[in-house]
Amino acid sequence: MPITYSYSNQGEDLGYQVPFNFNSLSLHPKHKWITAHIGSVSMNFSPYTLSGHQFTGGGIDLTPNGAWSFSAMSGRLLKATEDDGDARTQPAFDRFGYGLKTTYKKDKYKVRLIAFYAKDDKNSLDSIPEIRNILPQENFVLSIDGEVKLSRNLTFAGEHASTAITKDLRSPSSGGSSKFSLANILLNQKTSTAVFNAFKTNINYTIGKATVGLGYERIDPRYETLGAYFFNNDFENITINATNSIF
């Protein structure tokens, strides 16, 4: 059972408030194919869903013998932090998140489905600091990706992620969005709800010890997930890659 503990007096010396703790304790007990994560921990599902965001709660990885594997998490992503008038303070609502990742893997193909949901408690602050652009939000992300061997030397992989994010939970309900999205059909849509998509694919061909590949990635403008601290968006990437084993 690995134990990780981090202590710092930096938080006391800042002079302003932040919505997370500098001190953390995490336990990672493991038994056969079951691994738990308890305390202040982080997990990675995919770059478009849950990616390294620290939370206080619990998670689990199940990797039994066979084709199926599962991961899940639940916990507080941000703690309520009032706006005290200091420009350096980072006000935030209590934010809780929940995630599930399911993978089915065989010799020639793999399929993975990820769902992540996060919501702010709009009653966790005495006053909403709208002038700081801090509003209660809600987010639901769905991602499906897979990999398949088209032949002995040719491999194709791709991922499509869809995020539906409500920027202000106080806004009135709307009739829904006409934009295609995997996530918007499961979120209670409001006038401040928007949906965005991310897409990534690549194909690789192996020739002896060398591999050549072509990749394409596109992320909508304003794509965002509450499961990551920072996210690049509004771009297209076309990549060509080649690798070779010399020795």
Whose CA is closest to 79, among 71, 90, 68, 69? 90
Instruction: Quote the tokens at residue 33.
Output: 């194919």
Whose CA is closest to 30, among 67, 72, 59, 69? 59
Residue with tokens 């006000």: 91
d(CA 55, CA 66): 30
What pTM was estimated for this model as a whole?
Answer: 0.89
In one letter, which amino acid is 135?
Answer: L
| Straight-line distance from the first to the last Cα atom of the chain, in angstroms, rounded to the nearest whole number | 38
Torsion of CA 214, 220, 222, 225, to 10 degrees: -70
Domain residue ranges of the chain, discontinuous segments joined by +: 3-244
d(CA 19, CA 6): 17
pLDDT at 190: 87
pLDDT at 198: 95
pLDDT at 182: 62
pLDDT at 181: 63
pLDDT at 12: 63
What are the 10-residue block averages of pLDDT along the chain, 247 residues in total? 83 76 90 96 94 95 96 96 86 96 95 96 87 91 95 94 92 68 72 92 93 96 93 93 90
DSSP helix/strand/coil, 168: coil
Q: Which CATH code of 3.30.300, 2.40.160, 2.60.120, 2.40.128 fits the domain covering 3-244?
A: 2.40.160
pLDDT digits over 68-97, tens only? Answer: 999 999 999 999 999 888 888 889 999 999
